[in-house]
Structure 1
Amino acid sequence: MIKTSVHEDLGLCVVKPTVERLTAANATTFKEEVIALLDQKHDRLVIDLAEVSFIDSSGIGALVGVLKRVGTRGEIVVCNLASSVQQMFRITRMDRVFSAYRDVDAAIQALKERA
């Protein structure tokens, strides 16, 4: 359900859900797959939501669960948010929790600057 691209030189991993809708039907699977990455010591993540056109509270909850699992040992940012996904982030105030960037390159650059 996710594609990953590991950037060892930068110490980060790009995670791309390959679903159009991140909802109760697949949020648990998404969360488990991302947590498996965290267990492999990939704790600086860019979540690329380019293919996701809709996210519900379960999808948001999965992202929050991953963020809690990362804790202070890493960082998670999101990018490529469709307008409906941006709206859900605003409604749930997750736009104050997750840093969002226009694309993967901008997200990677931001993480590089924070390293």
Structure 2
Amino acid sequence: MDLSIAREGAIAIITVNATRIDASTAIQFKDEMRSATAEAGDHIVLDLGQVEFIDSSGLGAIVAAMKQLGPGRKLDLAALTPDVDKVFRLTRMDTVFDIHGSLDSVGERAAV
């Protein structure tokens, strides 16, 4: 699983450079997220703009990544493609995560 990390002020943006997060990549995703978030600060945004497919294993891996952050740290999601957005809404995970339409809207909300 290829993840890249960038900083936008106090926000760490982790971009998933893959089209799928599924059963075959979920464990690797969790491991990469653990490494990527270790020194990432308290506010992390996961950019899912390139992810076209996510299954229950992928969804579980994202939830696990959020839980491993611990108290006082936050994981938001951004730029969900329509199919990925649908999975989050159908499973009601849109009530667990703050979901931003784009990376630009993350900075706007943080400034408010």
- TM-score under structure 2 length normalisation: 0.89
Preserved CA contact (<8 Å) 2:12 2:40: no
Preserved CA contact (<8 Å) 1:78 1:98: yes
Preserved CA contact (<8 Å) 1:15 1:47: yes
Q: Give the gaps of 5 or more residues in structure 1.
A: none
Residue of structure 1 equivalent to 2:110: 111
- Structure with the bigger percentage of helix: 1
Structure 1: which amino acid aligns with 2:105? A
SS in 2 for 1:77: strand
Counterparts of 2:99 and 2:36, CA distance in 1: 21
SS in 2 for 1:72: coil
Taking only aligned residues, the RMSD between alpha carbons, in angstroms, comes to: 1.4
Deviation per residue, 1:20-69 (Å, 9 max, x gap) = 01111112111111111222243311111110011111111111011111
List structure 1 runs of 4+ shifted beyond 3 angstroms. Answer: none
Preserved CA contact (<8 Å) 1:78 1:107: no
Residue of structure 1 equivalent to 2:7: 6
- TM-score under structure 1 length normalisation: 0.87
Q: Percent identical across equivalent pairs?
A: 30
Matched residues, number: 111
Residue of structure 1 equivalent to 2:17: 18
Which range moved further: 85-94 or 35-44?
Answer: 35-44
